[in-house]
Amino acid sequence: MSKRKVKETHMPVGECISQVQMILRERFCHQRLPEKPVGMESQHKHLLELLRRTAVHGESNSVLIVGPRGSGKTMLLNCVLRELLEVKDVNKNVLPVHLNGLLQTDDRIALKEITRQLNLENVVGDKVFGSFAENLAFLLEALKKGDRSSSRPVLFILDEFDLFAHHKNQTLLYNLLDVSQSAQAPVAVIGLTCRLDVLELLEKRVKSRFSHRQIHLLSSLSFIQYLDNVRSQLSLPQDFPDTKFYDEWNDSIKTLCEDQLVVDVLQSHYNSSKDFRSLHLLLMLALSRVSASKPAIKPTDLLEASRVCMVDSKANILHGLSILELCLIIAMKHLNDIYEGEPFNFQMVHNEFKKFLQRKSHSIHNFDKPVVIKAFEHLQQLELIKSMDSSTAKIQKEYQLMKLLLDHSQIMEALQKYPQCPTDVKQWAMSAFG
Amino acid sequence: MAAQLQHLGYEDEKLQRVMERLPCRDVQASMLLALMGEQCSYPSIFIYGHRATGKSHVIHTLLKELELPYATVSCVECVSVGLLFEQVLLSLFGSDSASLLSRSPSLSDFVRVYKQLCVQASAKQTRYIVLDRAELLRDMEANLLPAFLRLQELVEDNVTVILLSEIVWDKFRPNTGCFEPLLLHFPDYSKGELQQILSEDSHPSYSPELYSAFINILLGVFYSVCRDLRELRHLAALHFSKFVEPLEQGKESDTHKLWRNIEPHLKKAMQTVYLREVSSVQWEQQLQMEEKEAGVVRGLSAHAHVELPYYSKFLLIAAYLASYNPARTDKRFFLKHHGKIKKTNFLKKHEKTSNHLLGPKPFPLDRLLAIFYSVVDSRVAPTASVFCQISSLVTLQLLNQVGHDDQLDAPKYKCAVSLDFILTISRCVYPMLYCPLVTDWNHCQTPASAAL
């Protein structure tokens, strides 16, 4: 650490804000790795120890990291890898191979990818192998160092591990785990998955070769820890050039996190999901409202961001329907109430609508049947109603059975917010017997 | 509003120009710009809203005017995944990049080639990939949607994927979850906003006030049925000439009288052009011919103008009666001397369910012929010509054959036409009587009612 005091630089507000945006966006959008992952110390230690044994001592291992979406599996793995590769010996020796279940949908593609990542394309050349196992053995053989006694350790990282289990015969998994059990070459097989029941997906021979070592990332943060995490996520790092702005910003974040409104918003978010990804989404929305004219995050920003996150999308879509379509939805709601959720067809809905027009309506015009059918089909396109049977049986479209994919409360709420809704329509919706 | 976006580094006049081209969409445009930011943005953004609410328009205007690197693909055009990949690479990296992809590329190939091209041309600014009609991605390969949502992570490049769709995000989510994108809603236009936007394309030779009065009238007729901006613009373009016709001819200039002139036309348009029964070209021809001869508008749906042979009409009427009346009532309707029909418990329970609501029921061929012989007004011999008329009705899709094709001895059919069509036919067949048979049956749905 230099003894010389860092010269205090003052930048204009606009530039400071750009810097702040860049730093924070890298954290929220580009998943920049934190110094130390929060709330997973024991898992971090466990994984680091395991991989060190493979990298340094040449011991083969297999492990599964299991946790729901957004709980930090990739973040944990990358932090561990970063720490591992800081050691110079390890850095020169270890070969990481990253495979992803979404991209490598076939074992053949996976094998080509492994070959490419191990930089052995030239070595393999045009060779034709009889089986997957032969190919893999050849690759691992090629990694042996000069004296043929030891081979470079390979870390196979399998993202979306459960998707690999759907390949034919699970050959890739079988062979990788086979290699990790036999003493051919030091490999570590690390799988990341979001499914808790991933072991049920594996075949018996594959499961027996797996070491059954699982690291669970079920986020166990308490609310206080969650608040601390929010504060540290929003704070600027030490090396920010403008110290005055740095102090101002961090102080404002501190007061922000103590504000009751903000605490309530964060509590409701914490109650619905504790994972990092949804937190990053919320903070990103709040961050987008920061600009040169408003260089701090206010509690209203967070409130607005929370509102955007928690909005019901179907209610938004209902807001934009025409009056005729809304009346059809109310007619369907009444049918659902009377017949307790049994499927209906267009004729029944039209009948209900005509009853309303005859008895109660003053403001709705009596539209022709084809116009009403067009409105009905529009609702079908928006996927607010769905056909019950997907068979292509020749039933006329007016008689095809449908069901409504909206809830009673959603419809009533949407009616409250509907702009310039005629009163007779509202009363019809609220009446019990249609 | 421009002050808010100043820090993003775009020139003021560019922003001004952009905002002028996006009427009534300032809030959404500024929110998008703020989210897009200067350097990097969230990996995936999902924009949803009704049709013609300006989703594609706003995004494309922003990306083009502000000269950001982007690739836009409409998923309707991508019958195969390879087309999607090719188009993205072409737009982002130039014309020789797509040749690096193999014949039918997989997602793995695409990511590999993208990474390769990235190394040569690294992104200082965020690249944007816009996928329009994204709901069709769900029907393509299962790994495509989750991969695009986290494309930034997979290719390790500063790229943001923007998905545009009419359908809400809840319907997109795969079973085991995926990377959740940022959801943005484009609300529908209010009536005032629609008026404002529609009034913008006024005809140069007429005053804007006249045009806005016309738009007001149009909205008054169509707003309760349709809020789609595109459809309303189409209707406005079609009807404006008719609206100003009296003005041109020098007859009227009062808006009220012009309205009275145009209103029946708008009402007729709702039955034809709005339903696309008649194309706009046909409609315009119709309007021109109006003065000379009053012709009936020939719609697209076959039912308006299909001409059937004499016995086919009777067969169709018989089929309708067979489909919509239960078999036990045949005795009462068609025989001269019939007894009473007792009402059983079953009938009492199901009294309310009208056949008109549930749809046509299948009936065997024998029953059709029995009703046919009692309905037709002359003696008909059971020749092959009568039977082959039944087959041609099936080909015309006026009858549907139910059951297997192989069943030759007792085929079953179902009537596939509506009551209106039958009434039209029966009017030709029974000109004197106006078909009391069919109207009678229309009312007597339950056999116990109607004391015959």
**Predicted complex ipTM:** 0.92
Minimal-distance CA residue of chain B relative to A18: B7
CA pair distance B361, A395, nearest whole angstrom = 11
B169 in A contact zone (CB under 8 Å): yes
pLDDT at position A2 is 46
CA B381 to chain CA centroid, Å, is 47
Q: Which two tokens stand for residue A42?
A: 């024991």
The pLDDT mean for chain B works out to 81
Q: Which two tokens stand for residue B434?
A: 């106006």
pLDDT at position B434 is 42
pLDDT at position B436 is 46
pLDDT at position B130 is 96
pLDDT at position B4 is 60
SS3 category, A40? coil
For B373-399, what is the mean pLDDT? 86
- Which pTM does this prediction carry? 0.89
DSSP for A191-210 reads EEES-TTHHHHS-HHHHHHS
pLDDT at position B431 is 62
DSSP for B143-210 reads THHHHHHTHHHHHTSSEEEEEEESS-GGGT--TT--PPPEEEE-PPPPHHHHHHHHTTS--TTS-HHH
Minimal-distance CA residue of chain B relative to A418: B190
CA pair distance A142, B190, nearest whole angstrom = 68
Which has the closest alpha carbon to A71: A200, A190, A197, A221? Answer: A221
Q: Which of A29, A367, A383, A401 to mutate to test the interface with B (most CBs of B within 10 A)?
A: A29
pLDDT above 60: residue B439: no
pLDDT at position B294 is 47
pLDDT at position B375 is 83
CA pair distance A228, B275, nearest whole angstrom = 59
* pLDDT tens column, B290-328: 655 544 555 555 555 678 888 888 899 899 888 888 888
| Residue pointed to by tokens 């549907």 | B400
Is the CB of residue A402 less than 8 Å from the CB of residue A344?
yes
Q: Cβ contact (<8 Å) for A313 and B143?
A: no
pLDDT above 70: residue A406: yes
* pLDDT tens column, A286-342: 998 888 788 888 899 899 999 999 988 999 999 999 999 999 999 999 999 888 888
Minimal-distance CA residue of chain A relative to B402: A394
CA pair distance B223, A349, nearest whole angstrom = 21
Q: Cβ contact (<8 Å) for A399 and B360?
A: yes
CA-only gyration radius of chain B, Å? 31
pLDDT above 90: residue A158: yes
Q: Which of A396, A400, A410, A417 to mutate to test the interface with B (most CBs of B within 10 A)?
A: A396
* pLDDT tens column, A395-405: 788 888 999 99
* pLDDT tens column, A246-275: 888 899 999 998 999 999 999 999 999 888
Which has the closest alpha carbon to A372: B305, B226, B263? Answer: B226
Which residues in chain B are contacts of A285 at CB distance < 8 A? 35, 182
